[in-house]
């Protein structure tokens, strides 16, 4: 398969030369149509990695190729290929969901029938069709996050970058988003990179998982392969991604939200 994303020796230091090192020589590839989960605690460097892939901040060292385009030399070409769903929601609360989607769709260059179809398709995908004309200020946190995910899908991107897309969600909204990510891969062949600190979420969604800790990628592989690398002792439970993380870092990582 073809690598849709390639990171080569990517480091990010804020306020160089002596500021904090958020990413430390990360080299990683994501194949076309693959779902890659970035698994690690808060502060591990997951958000920084996604922001670099999105062209929001340049790396201090190294480079990343997205769809064959350098984030350093061709940032606009990169942005045409990607959809980004940040953890912080960027919504106009006094506008309806449909108005929000139309506004952001126009920013992507959509218009006319193409814009109409994109908006209605996203509303259906995130389950907001019946409340499309209601002000977002009246939405629950879960409905707002669904809409936030929808903004990143308007232009049918080849690559979708999601930063902790299910944090704080009720079970229905969480399930809706997970199913949507799975359908994007199956129906459109979308390449997906998502950051999470929920172990079960990574295990369910990801074709491969990259375990990130203190700015370094400690291991990359299919969840089953990573778990095979841990020898279970007689007195402990069978290997899991949680035990892999503990083995690599000496720390525990939170399980999925209830």
Q: How is the chain split into domains, by residue range? A: 3-249
pLDDT band at 232 (very low <50, low <70, confident <90, very high): low
User: Mean per-residue pLDDT for 61-87?
Assistant: 94
Averaged pLDDT for residues 95-116: 95
> Tokens 């969840």, residue?
223
What is the pLDDT at residue 103?
96
Q: Which two tokens stand for residue 108?
A: 């992507």
How far apart are the C-alpha atoms of 195 and 250, rounded to whole Å? 21
Residue pLDDT, tens place only, 153-180:
999 999 999 999 998 888 888 898 999 9
> For the chain, how are helix, strand and coil distributed in percent, rounded to 5?
40, 25, 40
| Reported pTM | 0.91
Q: Is pLDDT at 234 greater than 60 in this prediction?
A: no
Tell me which residue of 181, 171, 172, 168 sits closest to 83, measured CA to CA: 181
**% of residues, the chain, pLDDT over 70:** 93
Category of 67 on φ-ψ map: left (φ > 0), alpha (ψ -120 to 50) or beta: left
Among 157, 43, 137, which Cα is nearest to 92's?
137
CATH topology of domain 3-249: Rossmann fold (3.40.50)
In this structure, the strands spanning 208-213 and 191-196 are: unpaired
Does 20 score more than 70 pLDDT?
Answer: yes
């Amino acid at each position: 398969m073809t690598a849709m994303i390639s990171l080569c020796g990517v480091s990010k230091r804020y306020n160089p030369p002596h500021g904090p090192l958020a990413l430390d020589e990360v080299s990683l590839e994501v194949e076309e149509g693959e779902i890659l989960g970035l698994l690690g605690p808060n502060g591990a460097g997951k958000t920084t990695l996604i922001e670099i892939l999105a062209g929001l901040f340049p790396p201090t060292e190294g480079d990343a190729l997205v769809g064959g385009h350098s984030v350093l030399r061709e940032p606009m070409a990169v942005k045409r290929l990607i959809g980004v769903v940040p953890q912080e929601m960027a919504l106009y609360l006094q506008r309806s969901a449909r108005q929000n989607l139309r506004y952001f769709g126009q920013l992507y260059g959509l218009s006319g029938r193409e814009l109409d179809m994109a908006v209605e398709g996203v509303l259906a995908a995130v389950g907001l069709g019946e409340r499309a004309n209601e002000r977002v200020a009246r939405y629950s946190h879960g409905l707002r996050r669904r809409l936030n995910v929808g903004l990143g899908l308007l232009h049918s991107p080849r690559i979708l970058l999601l930063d902790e897309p299910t944090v704080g969600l009720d079970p229905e909204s969480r399930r809706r988003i997970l199913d949507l990510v799975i359908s994007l891969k199956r129906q459109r062949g979308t390449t997906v990179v998502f950051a999470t600190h929920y172990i079960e979420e990574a295990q369910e969604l990801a074709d491969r998982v990259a375990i990130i800790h203190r700015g370094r990628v400690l291991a990359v592989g299919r969840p089953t392969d990573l778990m095979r690398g841990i020898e279970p002792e007689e007195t402990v439970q069978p290997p899991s991604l949680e035990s892999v993380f503990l083995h690599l870092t000496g720390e525990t990582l939170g399980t999925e939200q209830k």
